[in-house]
Chain A
Amino acid sequence: MSGNVAAIRDLSIRFDTQQGPVYPLRNVDVDVPRGQIVGIVGESGSGKSTLALALMRLLPGNAVVTGGEVELLGKDLLKLPAEEMRGLRGTRLAMIFQDPMTSLNPVRSIGQQMLDIQYRSPASRAEKIAKAADALKRVGIPDAREQLKRYPAEFSGGMRQRICIAMSLLQKPELLIADEITTALDVTLEAQVLHLLRELRAELKGSILFISHNLGAVAEICDRVVVLYAGEVVEQGPVFEIFDRPQHPYTRALVECDPARIETTTRELPVIPGDVPNLRSIPRSCIFAARCAEVMEVCRRDRPPPTVIGKGHSARCHLLEGVES
């Protein structure tokens, strides 16, 4: 087995909608090394949530995997029987969602739900309760035992997200998928949750796939970053490489137009002109060609293959061909 918890190779997905097929992910390669936090960055429509759902095998019924392979925890995910897949979810594989209110059952108390997820454990009820209270304590929720009796609606958004993290602590998954978990939170709470994730990292022992559109949050906690644009991985590499030496024009533009990155005050903020391409008909060109400031003749003709630029750093751009290391 490789040192990867998950290895996605050349994955392509199609959605069959009533208006015809849509191609949300095309030829995606992503590795999640053991023990690392991998950030998936992309704007809306980039396919980052589809990728998460594909890993959980929770894609909607109209989704078709048209090609590629996914190796997850040493198993061939796409060929895994449904029964075995259910066995993986919640034990070795877990997911936290953007809105913790929708992932917690509103009519069951936190304690009941934290017992529910331990149903496979042979421990006694009292031990399970103790473990649940301990998990809550570790995510910074005071009076843990008392809180177990309360219901999701009695907690604030930040608290609910902590509870979801506490639940994932109980499961100790080898891969935790966190889909936009700080998006609905205020900055101060976001900072707290990010800090918590970083602190718990050793304890979780597994890898985290951190999906976000917030570059600041990704820079804060990730080891590796995968940049998705309109369903394709345009660049991926170690976090310092991506933020300090972005090679793909899209990554560069994305990093540059984050107002938090711009030190001097400016009234004219940088933008990426143009619109995200329509994913119903995929051009044969580079997917970013229509918006790229450095577009060349060849970009409009052929789609560039991934070029390796450094150790674990690659990008899909014609500009980089020939600079291969």
Chain B
Amino acid sequence: MQLSEAVLPAAPGALTLFRRRLARDPLAMLGLTLVAIVVFCGIFAPWIVPYDPFKLSIPDKLQPPSLTHWFGTDNLGRDIFSRIIMGSRIALSVGISTIGIALCIGISLGLIAGYGPRWLDNFLMLLFDSVYSFPTVIMGLTVATLLGASVTTLMFVVILVQTPAYARLTRTATLSLKNSEYVQAIRSLGASPFRIIAVHILPNVVGPLLIIASMDIPSVVALEAGLTYLGMGIPPPAPSWGRILQEGYNLIREAPWMVVAGGIPLIITTLGFTFLGESLRDMLDPRLRRIV
């Protein structure tokens, strides 16, 4: 049903809308809160941990959750709650920063592939597809064997795996936008390819990618956990969530709380970024802003 739009008010700015949207959308608010908790823990970990997460205390080993040790202790007597808070640092650096880097590289390459000459597109696509066709875990194990297990290696693997995914999505969107009427209209004004890409294509591509990327952050944390579990992630004694899960898994009969404690932050991160990503996508699109 098409209506006369003559009385629609002008759209307010993005920032005002962001605030208004947050106030009205409980899911976005929840997402933001959860993400804020994780980020806060990551930044202030050394000052807020109740115990030294590295301090061994064999007499206290494998204690169940109590008021003194909220999440209990592990087989070396370390406080699990403190280790989880400390672990958010690794999760954040592996999660957010690698996804951020992969997103930047992926979008740039995708825009070049989508808008640039045909041969370059073919070449880049071949490159993306060959990297993409490797199973992530196999790739992770290979790189970790070659370079040695460390945080840097893990980040490298994640970037290598995620970049082609973002590049491919960007390329597809760019290709269809390149032939859209409004891009043709701007080309007919004589605008440079750089301006067309930066001002007219990028903003339309970035929205859906942001939400996908924000949903990828928890899966990267899970990947870190998985690789660590396989012994190819971050070497001990670093308190990563993956390591806590792995150790918990080995002791699941004696100390089931370790696995639960390792899983909680993963769930918080996943939900937080997913909720936030969804509302971010809606806010970035002026066509959806009306709903606010």
Direct contact of A and B (CB under 8 A): yes
Interface positions of A (Cβ within 8 A of B): 15, 18-19, 22, 24, 44-45, 47, 49-50, 275-280
Cβ-defined partner of A45 (8 Å) among B1, B7, B290, B291: B1
| Residues of chain A with a CB closer than 8 A to B291's CB | 18
Bound CA span A278–B2, Å: 10
Number of A-B contacts (CB under 8 A): 27
Residue pair B4, A275 in contact (C-beta under 8 Å): yes
Q: How far is the CB of B77 from chain A (nearest CB, A)?
A: 56
Bound CA span A45–B5, Å: 11
Residue pair A278, B7 in contact (C-beta under 8 Å): yes
| Residues of chain B with a CB closer than 8 A to A18's CB | 290-291
B67 CB–A CB distance under 8 Å: no
Of all chain A residues, the one with the shortest Cβ separation from B6 is: A275
**Contact residues on B (Cβ < 8 Å of other chain), bracket:** under 10
| Residues of chain A with a CB closer than 8 A to B198's CB | none
Bound CA span A50–B4, Å: 16
Bound CA span A44–B291, Å: 23
Bound CA span A277–B1, Å: 14
B3 CB–A CB distance under 8 Å: yes
21 contacts between A and B (CB under 8 A): A15-B1, A18-B290, A19-B290, A22-B3, A24-B1, A45-B1, A45-B2, A45-B3, A45-B4, A49-B1, A50-B1, A275-B4, A275-B6, A276-B4, A277-B4, A278-B3, A278-B6, A278-B7, A279-B4, A280-B3, A280-B7
Q: How far is the CB of A155 from chain B (nearest CB, A)?
A: 24
| Residues of chain B with a CB closer than 8 A to A19's CB | 290
| Residues of chain B with a CB closer than 8 A to A22's CB | 1, 3
Bound CA span A29–B266, Å: 61
| Residues of chain B with a CB closer than 8 A to A279's CB | 3-4
Of all chain B residues, the one with the shortest Cβ separation from A50 is: B1
In B274-292, which residues have CB < 8 Å from any A CB? Answer: 290-291
Task: Return the 3 tightest CB-CB contacts between A and B, nearest first.
Answer: A276-B4, A44-B2, A45-B2
Q: How far is the CB of B11 from chain A (nearest CB, A)?
A: 13
| Residues of chain B with a CB closer than 8 A to A45's CB | 1-4
Bound CA span A196–B1, Å: 30
Per-residue CB contact flags for chain B residues 1-23 toward chain A (1 = under 8 Å, else 0) read: 11110110000000000000000
Bound CA span A49–B2, Å: 10
Of all chain A residues, the one with the shortest Cβ separation from B292 is: A18
| Residues of chain A with a CB closer than 8 A to B2's CB | 44-45
Of all chain B residues, the one with the shortest Cβ separation from A43 is: B2
Of all chain B residues, the one with the shortest Cβ separation from A281 is: B7
Q: How far is the CB of A126 from chain B (nearest CB, A)?
A: 45
